[in-house]
Chain A
Amino acid sequence: GENVEQHPSTLSVQEGDSAVIKCTYSDSASNYFPWYKQELGKRPQLIIDIRSNVGEKKDQRIAVTLNKTAKHFSLHITETQPEDSAVYFCAASPDNFNKFYFGSGTKLNVKP
């Protein structure tokens, strides 16, 4: 089955700096890559996603890039704010049943 690896496990940045989280996947059939944000004690919520026919997608301060050849994708957050502090999960979906295989998460701490 699909295997998704995520790095780093923790990331601490100063407010206003950029943060980058990287994921790799193993199944070349994966064609949908969502990113979820989970605040402490809350449910995961989608912040951005990308499909395999697109190399980059941007939504305000958040962007995701995808390299299908290398089987890796990354989340970029610019001008970080304290409210960006949370755990971020990447996922890959290789089949039509929309099953997600999640990375192990990155705890982002934005210091004011």
Chain B
Amino acid sequence: NAGVTQTPKFRILKIGQSMTLQCTQDMNHNYMYWYRQDPGMGLKLIYYSVGAGITDKGEVPNGYNVSRSTTEDFPLRLELAAPSQTSVYFCASSDQRGNNEQFFGPGTRLTVL
């Protein structure tokens, strides 16, 4: 199993540009999450999904959108990039049977100039 994979690894955007961060998991997990990690800080939940077609906001959803059309994929969309969105973005997934380990992807380092 590849686990959780993310693309791209790195990206530089100009202010106002848009992009989609891709996340795929092959563990058949129903629950998926997007976090952002600012330098020297913890992870903040942006959006999460409990299954295909179901998404909800986390702690810091402004400026982002998500969709979940399949169990495997959970893309994160930035519509109008701002310097405040410079961060490392991690996707994670977990089994839906109670509270348990979240498995993280390798991260996408995004810089907005």
Cβ of A89 and Cβ of B43 under 8 Å apart? yes
The contact size tier of chain A is 20 to 34
A103 and B42 contact, Cβ closer than 8 Å, known pairs A31-B99, A44-B90, A98-B99:
yes
Partner of B45, one of A101, A104, A105: A101
Q: Give the residue name and chain of the B residue nearest to A1 (CB).
A: B59
Cβ of A98 and Cβ of B40 under 8 Å apart? no
Chain B residues with Cβ below 8 Å from A46 are: 101-102
CA distance A46 to B104 in the complex (A): 9
CA distance A49 to B56 in the complex (A): 25
Chain B residues with Cβ below 8 Å from A1 are: 59
Cβ of A105 and Cβ of B98 under 8 Å apart? no
Chain A residues with Cβ below 8 Å from B56 are: 97
Cβ of A43 and Cβ of B105 under 8 Å apart? yes
CA distance A42 to B82 in the complex (A): 25
Contact bitstring B11-22, A, C-beta under 8 A = 1, else 0: 000000000000
Chain A residues with Cβ below 8 Å from B100 are: 32, 49, 98
Interface of B toward A, CB cutoff 8 Å: 31, 33, 35, 40-45, 48, 50, 56, 58-59, 90, 94, 96, 98-102, 104-107
Known: A99-B45, A99-B48. 18 other contacts (CB 8 A): A4-B42, A6-B42, A31-B99, A34-B102, A43-B104, A43-B106, A44-B104, A49-B100, A96-B99, A98-B98, A98-B102, A100-B33, A100-B43, A100-B45, A100-B102, A102-B35, A103-B42, A105-B40
